[in-house]
Structure 1
Amino acid sequence: MTAVAAAAALLAGAVMVAPASADVQVLEPEVGGQPAADATDAQWYAWAEAERDAARATDWAADAAQRGCTLLSVEITDTTMPDVAAQLGAPTDVLLPVVDRQETCAAATRTTFGGSATQGLASAEAHTKQFGATAADCTTTSGPGSICVSRSGNYVVSSFAYYGSGNISGYISIYKSCGTSPRLVSSGAASYSYGTQRSVSVYSAAASNYSARFWRHVGLGHYTNWGTACGYL
């Protein structure tokens, strides 16, 4: 399966979720109590259901506000991830949540670029501070933007921020290595304008090298890697 097809397949069954009220927890869903590797299937299914419920109870708007951003949309996709399930010792058909967020962060990170006040170039350092994540690795991309990979609890998170004057489209992928295999998840392809930031989160509790790539659409169904961040998380 190509990266583009995998990204499209991931969106099957996605549901739009409205931001929760302010009295629920902020940041990545974290329910704890992961079963032991020899747990029964019933225990794994109950745990996975709790993870999905926690993702839907998280106040993603408050999470964005903590980083100086405004939440535009959030999609939570329940999907099987055989590689992650094998890592956990869980049944391969366990459904885990993938959280795909779109935010605007122009007010928090606006800079000047090339002498123009209407363009911005996000530095990796600025994006790291704005994203508010610990153990984050960030890098600037080929164009005016930056990509980060970080850990929040048992979730690995990637965030791409764009600060160019024109519009582009593309998607984010997360891998459990500094290469391109195994791929854990891809976000949906989306359009970006100045100040748009998109993040995708996937459950992967094991400490390991993780990388994130932003794949920019270049026409006729083709995508090119615009930048890679990799770190031990």
Structure 2
Amino acid sequence: MNREVIPNLSVDCALFSFDGNQIKILLRQEKILLNGKTYNKYKLPGDHPFMNEIIENTAERILFEQTGARDIFMKQFWVFSSLDRLKRNEVDFAWIKNRGLISERVITVGFYSFVKKGVMENQHLIPEATWVNIHDVQNLIFDHEEILQKAREQIKKDIEHQPLVFELLPAKFTLAQLHNIYELLLEKKLDRRNFRRKVLLAMPYVKELSEKQKGVAHKPAKFYAFDKKIYDKHIIHKTS
């Protein structure tokens, strides 16, 4: 592959995971030297596309090179093109100069991605990468806080009409887990009884299994699974 990059174009990925209790985001730690002092900043995984690489392949490459994960859900959601996005902070701009990058204007295509807990735990992260609770994110480089916030806003819209939450849940899950992940992604409280009623009546693709939790201190809950075939039929029926 031609490794020559397009210097004025980049791809940044907001990679989310659900550990059973919290939504986490993957960040890279960067140490930036400026005027003899070292600053610790964080950034979303990203890179420039190669000259002979389409944007989607760039996003796939970034996620694989920095996590070791393949074939995970991702979606392009926005383009970030503010004229000053790289030069708002002297420390941030030093990161560019220290890496020998000469372009002062870079347009970024944003992708958000979901990875399941099991995949997350078995990833081969690069040393600079770490999973951070979404509510603990701070000190991001350039406009990456804006990119992350835009991703979160888009996800709130998308999960209302697409079954994206199941990209974060394990193959077998409880209704409590489903309820929890909707609350975390939507960032609001949902009445538990109303939510359960909505799932059972309006989501026939959430299929009840014969299995229950084991080894729990409370009454074991039933397991459910997302059935894509039923979902596809459900969508066709709704739109026809």
TM-score where L is the length of structure 1: 0.30
**Between structures 1 and 2, the one with greater helix share:** 2
**Between structures 1 and 2, the one with greater strand share:** 1
Q: Which has the higher contact order (CA 8 A, sep 6+)?
A: 2
